[in-house]
Amino acid sequence: MKFSLSLFLAVTAIGMASAASAAGAMRVLDPMTRIALRGSGHSGPKAAPAVGDKMPEPQRYVPMILKLADGGSIGELEAAGIRVLHHRDELVLAYIPADRTDIIEDLNIVRRASLGRPASALLDRAAAATGAASVIDGQAAELPYTGRGIVAGFSDIGFDPGHATFGGRTVGLSHINDTLAAVTRLTAPAEIAAYTTDNPRQYHATHVAGIMAGSGDGTPYRGTAPGAAIYATTSTLYDTGILAGVEEIIAYARSHGQPAVINLSLGSAMGPRDGTDLFCQYLDRCAAEVPVLLSAGNDGSTNIGIHHTFSPEKPTVTAMVSEHVDWGYNYLPGHCEGWSSDEHPFEVSFSVFDVIDRKFVYETGRIGGDSVSVIDATTDPAFARYYSGNIVAAGEVSGENGRYNLLMRLDLAVNERINENRWARHYLCVNLHGEASTHVDFSPDGELLFLDPVGAAQALVSRGDNSQSISSMACGKNTICVGSATTRDSAPLLSGGTASWTDYVAAGTVSAFSSYGQAADGRRLPHFCAPGAYVVSAASRYYLNEFPAKMGAVNACGATEGNYFITDCGTSMASPHAAGIFALWLEADPTLTPAELLATAVETASTRGLDSADPRSGAGMIDAVAGLRKILRQGGLDLPEAIARPRVSRDGSRLHIGAAGLEVTAVGVYDLAGRTADADALPAGPVIVRVTTSDGVYTYKL
């Protein structure tokens, strides 16, 4: 799923006070923020006195991450009218009054301000593939481990806490309203039970939470830590709200004296990919205290970037900027940016390619440097022949890493269409210009803009590559980056039949879409992989009510009427699977540090069935059983390699169980859609059998 930063800016930054050229603004505001705050006047209505029954307009805010200068204090920020939600030393999660954003330029206590970049909201077979089912059911050790006593938290969007798969285990819920700088915090069971959802048009958080900690509600689609307590945080997924959610989870776990694990199924195709941006700096401090797992990203099969070292022979590289909004290349809204490997700058120009005449027909002047630059159709008649709208760019040498950064915001619409007025006649290309030996990593936002040459232009431009497709948000030094492996390429549908994705993924392989890359300090990411394609998990009831046509994609209904399960894929599904396994390991040894948990995952990862040479796989597939046994042996326990378990078989339509002296207390039989089946009249197809004994619960597929 994709979430639009440009949409947010359209709402909160219309006409904000100019930050174009003052030296203070150059020093304080990063390029994204300088572009967003470009303009004049005010961004939103001020609170006004009530007239009759009319209520006053609420004060609106713009979320930012601030870095205080030496000697700066939280009190000084608050005295200036800035709301502070959380802070760690000099890093602050702040909310600036939307009609007074210019105060940031005037506060000499602020060294750096960042609005942030766009984020993408970046089980039955899955749990078996990693051995999580064996750990949960007690087959990997003398006792079952389900994540009991552990807080499983996440920051996401579209959560339905009332879904039966969560079984009343949601102990806390915080919703961060970035526009109003407010937090709705619920911890009382009655309050949580009465809560509906933060966003009925999204189900991502419900699906992710089900993978991490769902019970399955009588279906085979359990999460990897079905006994964990759940703390949910939701927002519109901008940097400040995401980090505020992380702090809410940590605060709850700390106040209750419980270990926690946090999942962020989010990502960004833009950023320095070196962990130096303010988001990664702040998250790294949280991740030193609590394990934080992030998705690697879903651009591993996409030519998302240009990575070029300029030379006398090739001082320019050109790529086509495309969009997948209407597939007609008629609109180009979104962001692109480039990072040099050091302080050396580069410049950008834009060319227009005519698909009928099959040639370039126009090139803009070059933009770059450290000021805000504009290419505008209203002031450039030649450019206006092809596009309406503008391109705004801002550059700087970042004080956080010493690298030159140039960021561009595009807001363009093509003026001439062909093929029954559906396709653009003119395509936009970006040209990167630099001095010899300067290296640049350039990428679009991967949300609204891509690099995808089409037609006759393919022979004239670079196609880009995926070698640095890793999400910049996952490049922190303390965070844990998880890629995706494919454990399912088809799934049964509740309505009958089967959904198949064999033309996109292949079971038993690393997912081709899973992102990978190398951080600036040489670290290769992801650290390891977990099942991410395709995964069946909980769906928000409110989402299905909002989009009833989606019921056709539902895979199962739980034992509780109206609670459905649906399939999705992506590294968004992989990281919560691994986070749930971390919760199992923390239950076995609550003293484990985030670094020790990561080391366990990497050292015990399995490469069986995976191409270990594929950089998407990292160290291999996380192995819940091998990791648990390593942890328990470190604690001095002598584990048998095999645990006694019931023998289960079928004879046609009848089920046979040999308990080997164990007391069987319950037997459940389900078809692959999660419907209950009769043990004495089994259906013809495969079934899932769950046997509960005095020693634990065991699951079989027959």
Quote the pTM value.
Answer: 0.85
Helix axes 624-634, 571-588, angle to 10 degrees: 20
Once rounded to an integer, what is the mean pLDDT over residues 511-519? 94
Q: What is the pLDDT of residue 8?
A: 30
Rounded Cα–Cα distance for residues 256 and 273 (Å): 35
pLDDT at position 641, please? 47
Per-residue pLDDT, 652:
76
Residue predicted with more confidence, 122 or 576: 576
Which residues lie below 8 Å from residue 69, measured CB to CB, with a gap of 6+? 90, 108, 109, 110, 111
User: pLDDT per residue over 482-514, tens digit each?
Assistant: 999 999 989 999 999 999 988 888 888 999 999
Of the candidates 200, 219, 449, which has an alpha carbon nearest to the alpha carbon of residue 331?
Answer: 449
| In the predicted structure, residue 192 carries a pLDDT above the cut 50 | yes
Quote the tokens at residue 552: 């056709």
Average pLDDT of the chain is 87
Give residue 637's pLDDT.
59
Per-residue confidence (pLDDT) for residue 453, from 0 to 100? 83
Decide if pLDDT at 15 tops 50: no
Pairing state between β 151-156 and 229-234:
parallel
Q: Which tens digits make up the pLDDT trace of 622-643?
A: 999 999 999 988 866 555 544 4
Whether the predicted pLDDT of 313 surpasses 70:
yes
pLDDT above 70 for 39 = no
Whether 416 contacts 128, CB under 8 Å: no
Residues 6+ apart with CB under 8 A from 181: 61, 63, 83, 85, 95
Task: Output the CA angle 428-433-434, nearest 5 degrees.
Answer: 160
∠ CA 204-150-201, rounded to 5°: 15
How many whole angstroms separate alpha carbon 156 and alpha carbon 267?
A: 11
Give the model confidence (pLDDT) of 315-340 as tens digits: 999 999 988 656 678 999 999 999 99
Residue 140 has pLDDT above 80, yes or no: no
